[in-house]
Amino acid sequence: MKEQIRAKFEAYRDEMLEDLAALVAINSVRGTTTEKYPFGEAPAKALELALAQGERMGFTTENVDYYAGTIDLGTTERMIGVLAHLDIVPAGQGWASDPFTLTLRNNRLYGRGVVDDKGPVVAALYGMRILRDLQVPLNKRIRLILGTNEELGSACMKYYAEHRPIPECGFTPDADYPLINGEKGNFLTILSFPNESTPVRSIQGGEVFNAVPAFCEAVLDGKQVDLDALRASVNTADTLGFQPEFSRDTDGNIHMITRGFASHGSLPHLGKNAVVSCALILVNYLGRSAGKMLRFVAESIGRETDGRTLGLKSEDALSGSLTFNLGWIRYNADEQKLGIDIRFPISLSLADMTSIYRKMTETHKISFEISSASEPHYVPRDHEVVKRLMAAYREVTGDEQAQPMVIGGGTYAKKLGKNFVAFGPDFVGMESTQIHNVDEHISLERFLDHCVICTMGMMRLAMD
Ligand SMILES: [Zn+2]
């Protein structure tokens, strides 16, 4: 069967790439909400186009109030779902070719959305067409669900789940192969410290929870801090090799810039935190007069990315260790706050996590508020949806060693509940596809592999 499916994809290749090109041409970044379009006009246009492509092939389609859309193969009540999205992140500057023109170069497809997630939309659509062409007997309807707001909150799927039936199981081709069957819980909080008068006027570092800050700027009172002494006090171990930059402004205040290395907030050990560097330098120099918040960062967080000293460390065999990222700092005359991004293992519940965290904040006499949080997501390895999709992956790739993974980042799968996993399209360990970056691309060969695996996966889930 996989050979027949591959041959069909090869036969449809040019038509499929034309459909993909038409979708890539729409800059479907979220726009202004209007009465008709919840996420602005461009995502709505991309949705209309994808539904028109499905209709052209003779499928039943529905526009779910411009939040989402559906394309169905079959009419049975029981159905499986494939969840993909048509919105994109901004293209950014510096592409080698126009991001909105699908470009084939060195056997690679370039364009914003070719991997995330317009390519997978088209792959699933043609997969459904091919299953129909080959008259594969299916006992369940296959529903391709198209979202338009994955990149900025997934309100599309919340709306879908409230207004339309959720398929009994399924997958989202919006992450990595071989398969992601679990996601750690998210626990994003803001820690607030009492305002204190210190020689520090302000500190600004990091903008979001889910990234390791690579830049931090502190302004210090020029009368209370001696620039030469501060400079001389800097310990290279506290800067991870990035020399801080000092300057004095016209008011006589001292500016200190520390730098580091960004990384995703779910992988803080891969980054170098510039805010932590700033705190280590200032606490080393100022001692107790650095104030409570900076001492908390320097002494209780430090370079740890598992919250060990804070008593938060937790791990399990399936999902590994809790991760702790200090994402941002706000320090000025009005507020002293830290933004913390924690991903906790699947063996903890959100209630467990909250009570452990509360205890920590009580110990340190600081207050916190939850910015956003979610339970872990886990579909057991012996669940049918995992077994069948892994079988499809192994059959096409021949990779018998591959095992399902639990990750710290979030995927679209969780939005439709406990029987959904993430499956492709990115092949871990192969050439980077530059998702969310400039020159997003996938090799034609890998894309075709993805098309076949996705189709085999849909088939196996829908057959009985
Ligand atoms: Zn995506």
CATH architecture, range 2-183+378-463: 3-Layer(aba) Sandwich (3.40)
The yes-or-no verdict on residue 414 having pLDDT over 90 is no
How far away, in angstroms, is 76 Cα from ligand 1 center?
Answer: 29
- Do the Cβ atoms of 195 and 291 come closer than 8 Å? no
How far away, in angstroms, is 25 Cα from ligand 1 center?
Answer: 17
221 Cβ partners below 8 Å, 6+ apart? 199, 200, 201, 253, 254
How far away, in angstroms, is 255 Cα from ligand 1 center?
Answer: 39
Whole-angstrom distance, CA of residue 239 vs CA of residue 234: 8
Residues 172-182: tens digit of each pLDDT:
999 999 999 99
How far away, in angstroms, is 150 Cα from ligand 1 center?
Answer: 6
How far away, in angstroms, is 1 Cα from ligand 1 center?
Answer: 29
Say what the pLDDT of residue 412 is: 86
How far away, in angstroms, is 181 Cα from ligand 1 center?
Answer: 17
Residues 140-155: tens digit of each pLDDT:
999 999 999 998 888 9
The yes-or-no verdict on residue 47 having pLDDT over 90 is yes
How far away, in angstroms, is 81 Cα from ligand 1 center?
Answer: 16
How far away, in angstroms, is 165 Cα from ligand 1 center?
Answer: 22
Residues 446-458: tens digit of each pLDDT:
999 999 999 999 9
How far away, in angstroms, is 46 Cα from ligand 1 center?
Answer: 15
Confidence of residue 9 (pLDDT cuts 50, 70, 90): very high
User: Quick one: which of 374, 210, 224 has its CA closest to 290?
Assistant: 224
Say what the pLDDT of residue 413 is: 84
Whole-angstrom distance, CA of residue 427 vs CA of residue 386: 17
Residues 367-377: tens digit of each pLDDT:
999 999 999 99
Ranges of each domain in the chain: 2-183+378-463, 186-374
Q: Point out the residues that are catalytic.
A: 87, 150
Say what the pLDDT of residue 124 is: 98
The yes-or-no verdict on residue 238 having pLDDT over 90 is no
Confidence of residue 279 (pLDDT cuts 50, 70, 90): very high
The yes-or-no verdict on residue 53 having pLDDT over 90 is yes
Share of residues in the chain with pLDDT > 90 (%): 90
Fold of 186-374: Alpha-Beta Plaits (3.30.70)
Which residues does residue 117 pair with via DSSP β-bridges, in sequence order? none
Rounded to two decimals, the pTM is 0.86
Give the side-chain half-sphere CA count within 13 A for 114: 29
The yes-or-no verdict on residue 290 having pLDDT over 90 is yes
Say what the pLDDT of residue 429 is: 84
Would you tell me the crossing angle of helices 444-463 and 2-24 to the nearest 10 degrees? 120
Average pLDDT over residues 330-341: 96
Average pLDDT over residues 385-403: 95
Q: 107-111, 268-272, 309-313, 425-429: lowest mean pLDDT where?
A: 425-429
